[in-house]
């Protein structure tokens, strides 16, 4: 018997190897506005949040009326290169395997709907996810709305839902929704920060994650 019915994945840094490009795009957007770009550690920390919230955290001293231009410049840099992004090795096979075993699969992401739809089409995984939620449709992480809506859509209880992500924002969202969480340490946030949020497990690779799911999910 499966322990979980619904498995919810974050996207950037969990399935797709995009953290470095997100950092580059945040820093390039800041330079476009004549600003000192945030250091890599700060830029990595905001990955997983909704874009507007993320940029406010990355550049907190920017006057409020300048954020729309910063968002536009970020999108320019990121969308001009997002076709170059690839899934982490083994991610494609993992998703196909989980779908074949009858799990309900969802995505809860800080991406916009436009951005996620592009990524799902480019990756070829769109048909394997039964439902998705994006930050421009819901409250940004760590608010639990994305997970709660996915559970409601499939009438799956919190006890039968698992969240998988590469940031503390994902783990805190799961905690706020009352669901179990597994971290992956190959994405945006460092392993020590992830472990401090007390996930069930912290996977070092997609293969490690796949093995844990086989034995525990």
Query: Which domains are present in the chain?
Result: 6-17+85-216 (3.40.50.1000), 19-83 (1.10.150.240)
pLDDT at 87: 97
pLDDT tens figures, 12-35: 999 999 999 999 999 999 999 999
> Hey, what are 123's tokens?
């990756």
The tens digit of pLDDT for each residue in 106-128 reads: 999 999 999 999 999 999 999 99
pLDDT of residue 11: 98
- Residues in the chain predicted with pLDDT less than 70, given as ranges, are none
Q: Report the alpha-carbon distance of residue 139 to residue 143 in Å, rounded.
A: 6
CA–CA separation, 99 and 65 (whole Å): 44
117 CB-contact burial (10 Å; exposed 0-12 / middle 13-18 / buried 19+)? middle
Helix (H, G, I), strand (E, B) or coil at 205: coil
Contacts of residue 46, defined as CB under 8 A and 6 or more positions apart, other chains included, come to: 26, 53, 54, 55, 57, 58
Q: Are 6 and 162 in contact (CB under 8 A)?
A: yes
Query: Which residue numbers are catalytic?
Result: 10, 12
Q: Give the pTM.
A: 0.94
pLDDT at 83: 87
Task: Give residue 129's pLDDT.
Answer: 97
């Amino acid at each position: 018997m499966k322990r979980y019915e619904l498995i919810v994945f974050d996207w950037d840094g969990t399935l797709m190897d995009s953290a470095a490009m997100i950092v580059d795009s945040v820093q390039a957007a800041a330079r476009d506005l004549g600003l000192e770009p945030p250091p890599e550690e700060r830029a990595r920390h905001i990955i997983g949040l909704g874009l507007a919230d993320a940029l406010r955290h990355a550049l907190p001293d920017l006057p409020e009326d300048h954020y729309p231009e910063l968002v536009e410049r970020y999108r320019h840099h990121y969308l001009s290169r997002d076709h170059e992004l690839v899934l982490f090795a083994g991610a494609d096979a993992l998703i196909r395997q989980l779908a074949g075993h009858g799990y309900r699969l969802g995505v809860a992401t800080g991406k916009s709907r436009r951005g996620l739809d592009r990524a799902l089409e480019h990756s070829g995984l769109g048909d394997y996810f039964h439902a998705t939620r994006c930050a421009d449709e819901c409250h940004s992480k760590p608010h639990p709305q994305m997970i709660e809506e996915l559970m409601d859509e499939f009438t799956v209880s919190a006890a039968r839902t698992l969240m998988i992500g590469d940031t503390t924002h994902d783990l805190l969202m799961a905690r706020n929704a009352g669901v179990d969480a597994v971290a992956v340490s190959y994405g945006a946030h460092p392993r020590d920060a992830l472990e401090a949020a007390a996930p069930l497990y912290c996977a070092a690779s997609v293969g490690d994650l796949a093995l844990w799911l086989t034995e525990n999910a």
